[in-house]
Amino acid sequence: MSDVTHILLAIDQGDPQAAEKLLPLVYQELRQLAVQKMAQEKPGQTLQATALVHEAYMRLVDVDKVQRWNSRGHFFAAAAEAMRRILVESARRKAREKHGGDWQRVDFEKLNVATSISPDQLVALDDALVRLSTLDPVAG
């Protein structure tokens, strides 16, 4: 039986220090799994592989929701599932209107500000910024 399996059994039996011993043993594999999952996502994903590993790990070893792991393979299969769910939750959250779901991304480098603003709009913008700086010097 591997060290990981022994620690998983200890977690199953309620050993409070077992989860701390598990992370160093599985971190690299979880990180590789997260990188693979992130590679399947659309570009521009704000969630990083490290954050995905940590979030999945917290879900897997949550002491309030004790889960039973039959083996090392079972643990990593559950980790892959947890990562998938986290990515789906993140995508759903971003798709909500409250989080800008109906917004479209504009690449700033491709935006030609000089030609897209009329001289009147530019003067109005400058006037607004001057008024703002008188109301709030830090913001202006």
pLDDT at 101: 63
Domain covering 3-99, topology: Rna Polymerase Sigma Factor; Chain: A (1.10.1740)
pLDDT at 52: 93
**Chain segment 38-52, per-residue pLDDT in tens:** 888 877 677 889 999
Q: Give mean pLDDT, residues 21-45.
A: 86
pLDDT band at 77 (very low <50, low <70, confident <90, very high): very high
> What residue segments make up the domains of the chain, in order of their start?
3-99, 106-140
d(CA 23, CA 16): 13
Using the structure block, give the residue that is written with the tokens 């491709």.
110
d(CA 30, CA 79): 7
HSE at residue 99, side-chain half, CA atoms within 13 A, is 8
What DSSP character marks residue 99? G
**Chain segment 78-107, per-residue pLDDT in tens:** 999 999 999 999 888 877 766 666 677 777
The model's pTM: 0.60
d(CA 75, CA 99): 33
Is the pLDDT at 1 greater than 60, yes or no? no
